[in-house]
Chains A and B, each alone.
Chain A
Amino acid sequence: MSRDTRTIRDAVEARLAKRHRAEKRFQFYGLSAIALAVGFLALLLISIIGQSVTAFSAHRITLPVTLEAGLVDPAGDASEESLRRGQYNAAIQAALREQFPGVEDRTALRELFGLYSAVNAARLLNAVVEDPALVGETLDFTLPLGDDADLYLKGATVEESLRRGPAPLSITLEDGGARLSSDAAVFGDFAETVRRVAGARIDTALARAAAAEARAETLIDADEREILLAEAERARALAATLEARADGTNGLSPGAQTPSLLVRAAGGVFALDQIAPGAASARASVIVAPDAALTGPVSDWTLWELETPPAARLITDRQIAWTRTLEARGLIENGFNHWLFTNADSREPELAGILGALIGSILTMIVTMFLAVPIGVGAAIYLEEFAPKNRFTDFIEVNINNLAAVPSIVFGLLGLAVFINVFGMPRSAPLLGGMVLALMTLPTVIISSRAALKAVPPSIREAALGVGASRTQAVFHHVLPLAAPGILTGSIIGLAQALGETAPLLMIGMVAFIADPPSLGLSGFTEPATVMPVQIFLWSTGAERAFEARTAAAILILLFVMILFNAVAIYLRRRFERRW
């Protein structure tokens, strides 16, 4: 007997260590799963926040715009009609030209006016129409700087380095340009850079030629071989051209593939066009005219190298020089990007905002809420409390569960086929979007509401029935209030899901570019609109680099709205929760 007891205890103890280990192992797995999830979440948030930072600030330029009567009031009677036909963009252009009087050339002017977008003229127009007394006046007009210049100032797109000029530089203005010369080889470093970049390109070209020739050797088909040989020839020709240019006997010219060098001296900015052999002097074009009279060599000057070659950036040398000059003049300042919150979508990233999509989302959610919640909760109450349990209700239940798993785009197709084609509802409208999303949300609302109703203990129902309440009274007086927190949570989860939904809305045309936010009244429901996730989708496919940051910013705003939604859900839940 005692031996039996001992063997049993030994066996138990032997297993005990194993059981403890298994327990520890399981806990470790759980913990590492959570750590992994939290880590990825943090990574995601950090990357989104990091990307969105540049979207929340914007450089704005303030120009003294003179509203000449002839320009903005063509009819001369200060009537609204006349004011609306005024050339406001021309007024802004004139103000910008005033800053850089030397710019005459058409290409240069186009680049100068590329620093802002003409869409801003509409705001100037509105200001004048509102206050016709402004005609003839000069007002300080603030407008967002163009996205390329904005990104440049944020240091996101162009690598640049500034160095003090090592030796005094004398500048002589010639026709259409300037000659910069010094005793020392002040441009030597830059010439070296240009040569190095050219050398690398030559190597690439030669390698390509060699590769093409080698492949041609192995080919039998004469046509193909000819094509390859022609390619090799072209590559060799390119290498020869580059070599001739890099040779430097006739001077060295930076090209589109090489970095550019600007020189800032005496309040002016020059761009180097050709470096003379020896690198002590160079021919340059004048971007910003020097303000001081140029007598004798300048000792305080800056070598300003733009390491990103022009071909790899969307902002030209001239635009960079003008932007920096305007900044130095105190006309450009950085601030909070309020346009992101007060504008609807725009083709110009600096003017694009989330407001239109936000209003669209709110209107859509209102429709979804007023359709999905009452219908869903009503269906849940009927199915859970009143419906007889038979094959038909089983069939309905199975189908509701299946509907919850149907891909959302199918609901979009349904909306397109039924709501638009059969009922002829307005496409792209929040009303339609809300209806489609309500269809999508219904199963979620019904399932979670049924679960909440089922969770109410039957004793409460019995108590109510026991004192002579009818079934309806028992449900509405006792069961529903107790199920309310659960129903609320389920509904809000469903709505949050709908808020983040894109696919079905693509089908019903809510993906359109909408430049005006829908009005906040009743008519807003039938006006074309877009919603936040679709806006994110649209921006993520935007060609301009500035949309990248705005996409991240829009995601952040959407996340914020979602968190707000859930916070309200938790608050309401706490508020209504009762114990039983």
Chain B
Amino acid sequence: MTNYANLDRDERDALETPAATVYHPAPAGQTVKVSVKDVAVTYGGKAALYKVGMEIPDRSVTACIGPSGCGKSTFLRCINRMNDTIDNARVTGSIRIDGQEVNDRAVDPVVLRARVGMVFQKPNPFPKTIYENIAYGPRIHGLAANREELDQIVETSLKKAGLWQEVADRLTAPGTSLSGGQQQRLVIARAIAVNPEVILMDEPCSALDPIATARVEELIDELRENYALIIVTHSMAQAARVSQMTAFFHLGSLVEYGPTEEIFTNPRDQRTQDYITGRFG
């Protein structure tokens, strides 16, 4: 990981100044779902993310790309306050979802995480049945009044995640008995089940083979209809395939943010150009 403390003062200032090539507000005709302003993160006094500002549109896929340790996962975890679980993490700045401040003390992270679902790098189904995996979220949030409704939610979620066909006859099988790709879709279904508005995905395909990856990408494309998706990926090809907006992070700061097409065809920052052409990263 880059040691930010070792950077020159000038270099650091350069990163902190809003020099990033950011086109915002979001492209016309799209509503802003998540509005990020001056978000910075430190882990135990070490800066991991320098003042980031961007506006993420609703019903679209926003990809975060960048070399390892550039802060993209850290940024993602700010949005549903997952960084709260890390003891020495400090988050400053403002993140608003539909205008509501996320970092407000009054906001219960539990409620927030019901609104902002998350899918992790490695499929992490609960060591319980497939049914229980999906039903857990709705149950703790009291989304279903009775067994029928719960069954309905489970079925709908699995259908939305494109997994229903494969598991309909074995809902009582353990979630861990599925293949990697199926597990990842199960986890997506689990996130959908609590009816979120935003879905965060942290390298959702990095542990999957190309066929499973294709399946998940297809799913991401379908989910775009109803949710705002933010996805962290190491694969630029994937970013190009699934996303409408792309944010390039480097050394803890947002370098460039704009429509995917433009970022990939006509990057305005030299670092973005170097990265996407494979000169570093």
Interface residue ranges, A against B (CB under 8 Å): 388-389, 457, 459-470, 473, 477-478, 482, 578-580
Q: Provide the bound-state CA to CA distance between A457 and B141, in Å.
A: 24
- How many residues in B have their beta carbons less than 8 Å from beta carbons of A? 29
A512 to B192, CA, bound (A): 67
Nearest CB in chain A: distance from B126 CB, A: 6
| A463 CB, nearest partner CB in chain B, Å | 4
Q: Which of B120, B141, B174 contacts A462 (CB 8 A)?
A: B120
**In the complex, which of the residues A389, A463, A470 contacts B126, with contact meaning CB atoms closer than 8 Å?**
A463
- Complex contact B124–A389 (CB within 8 A): no
Check A462–B117 contact: CB distance below 8 A: no
**B67-102 contacts to A (CB < 8 Å):** 80, 82, 85, 87
Between A and B, 13 residue pairs with Cβ closer than 8 Å are A389-B87, A459-B124, A462-B85, A465-B113, A466-B82, A467-B113, A467-B140, A468-B110, A468-B141, A469-B140, A578-B174, A579-B127, A579-B174
The answer to whether B136 and A477 touch across the interface, beta carbons within 8 angstroms, is yes
B122 at the interface (CB under 8 A from A): yes
Contact A482 B127 (CB under 8 A): yes
Q: Which residues of B contact A465 (CB under 8 A)?
A: 82, 85, 113
CB distance from A272 to the nearest CB of B (A): 83
Known: A462-B120, A468-B114, A473-B140; 15 extra A-B contacts, CB below 8 A, are A459-B120, A460-B127, A463-B126, A463-B187, A463-B190, A466-B82, A466-B117, A466-B118, A466-B191, A467-B113, A467-B140, A468-B140, A468-B141, A478-B126, A579-B127
Q: Are A467 and B137 interface neighbours, CB within 8 A?
A: yes
Tell me the complex Cα distance, A469–B193, Å: 13
**How many angstroms between the C-alpha atoms of A41 and B118 in the bound complex?**
54
Cα(A512)–Cα(B147), bound, Å: 61
**How far, in whole Å, are A449 and B219 apart by their CA atoms in the complex?**
41
A463–B125 contact, CB under 8 A? yes
Per the bound structure, the CA–CA distance linking A470 and B140 in Å amounts to 9
Task: Report if B194 contacts A (CB, 8 A).
Answer: yes
- Residue numbers in B under 8 Å from A482 (CB-CB): 127
In the complex, A319→B80 CA distance in Å?
Answer: 90
Q: Do the beta carbons of B136 and A467 come within 8 Å of each other?
A: yes
A-B contact count (CB 8 A): 70
Answer whether A460 and B82 are a contact pair too, CB < 8 Å, given A467-B117, A470-B110. no
- B111 near A: Cβ within 8 Å? yes
When chains A and B are docked, how far (Å) is the Cα of A457 from the Cα of B121?
14
Contact A463 B120 (CB under 8 A): yes
Which of A462, A467, A469, A578 lies at the interface centre, i.e. has the most chain B CB atoms within 10 A of its CB? A467
In the bound complex, residues from chain B placing their C-beta under 8 Å from that of A461 are 85
Contact among B127, B136, B193 with A580 in the assembled complex (CB-CB below 8 Å)? B127
Residues in B with CB closer than 8 Å to A470 are: 110
Q: Majority SS of interface residues in chain A?
A: helix
Residues of A within 8 A of B111 (CB): 468
In the assembly, what is the distance between CA of A460 and CA of B120, in Å? 11
Q: A460 CA to B176 CA in the complex, in Å?
A: 12
CB contact between A388 and one of B85, B87, B187 (< 8 Å): that residue:
B87
Of all chain A residues, the one with the shortest Cβ separation from B122 is A459
Contacts of A478 in B (CB 8 A): 126
Q: Which of B134-154 contact A (CB under 8 A)?
A: 136-137, 140-141
Interface centre among B119, B120, B140 (most CB of A within 10 A): B140
Chain A residues, Cβ within 8 Å of B127: 460, 482, 578-580
**CB nearest neighbor in A for B87:** A389
Kindly report which residue of chain B lies nearest to residue A469, judged by CB atoms. Answer: B140
A464–B85 CA distance with the chains assembled, in angstroms: 12
Interface residue from A388, A457, A467, A579 paired with B194 (Cβ < 8 Å): A467
Contacts of A464 in B (CB 8 A): 126, 136
Residues of B within 8 A of A473 (CB): 140
| A579 → B minimal CB distance (Å) | 6
Given A459-B120, A462-B124, A478-B126, verify A467-B176 contact (CB < 8 Å): no
Determine whether the beta carbon of A462 is less than 8 Å from that of B82.
Answer: yes
Residues on B with C-beta less than 8 A from A462 are 82, 85, 118, 120, 124
State the Cβ distance, B130 to closest chain A Cβ, in Å: 14
- Cβ-closest 7 pairs across A and B: A468-B114, A467-B137, A459-B124, A466-B118, A468-B113, A463-B124, A578-B127
A461 and B127 alpha carbons, distance in the complex (Å) = 12
Smallest CB separation, B204 vs chain A (Å): 12
User: B137 and A468: CB pair below 8 A?
Assistant: yes
A484 to nearest B CB, angstroms? 12
Selected from A388, A468, A469, A579, the residue in CB contact (under 8 A) with B176 is A579
Contacts of A460 in B (CB 8 A): 124, 126-127
Contact check, A467 vs B191: say whether CB atoms are below 8 A apart: yes
Residues of A within 8 A of B125 (CB): 463
CA distance in complex: A482, B136 (Å) = 16
Look across to chain A and name the residue whose beta carbon is closest to the beta carbon of B200.
Answer: A466
Most buried by B among A389, A468, A469, A473: A468
A457 — which chain B residues lie within 8 A by C-beta? 124
Chain A's closest residue to B190 (CB) is A467
**Contact between A466 and B120 (Cβ–Cβ < 8 Å)?**
yes
Residues of chain A within 8 A (CB-CB) of B140 are 467-469, 473, 477
- Report A-chain residues with C-beta under 8 Å of the C-beta of B136: 464, 467, 469, 477
Q: Which residues of A contact B120 (CB under 8 A)?
A: 459, 462-463, 466
Contacts of A578 in B (CB 8 A): 127, 174
| Nearest A-chain residue to B118, judged by Cβ | A466
Residues of B within 8 A of A468 (CB): 110-114, 137, 140-141, 194
A466/B113 in contact, CB under 8 A: yes
Per the bound structure, the CA–CA distance linking A460 and B190 in Å amounts to 13
* B residues in contact with A579, CB < 8 Å: 127, 174, 176
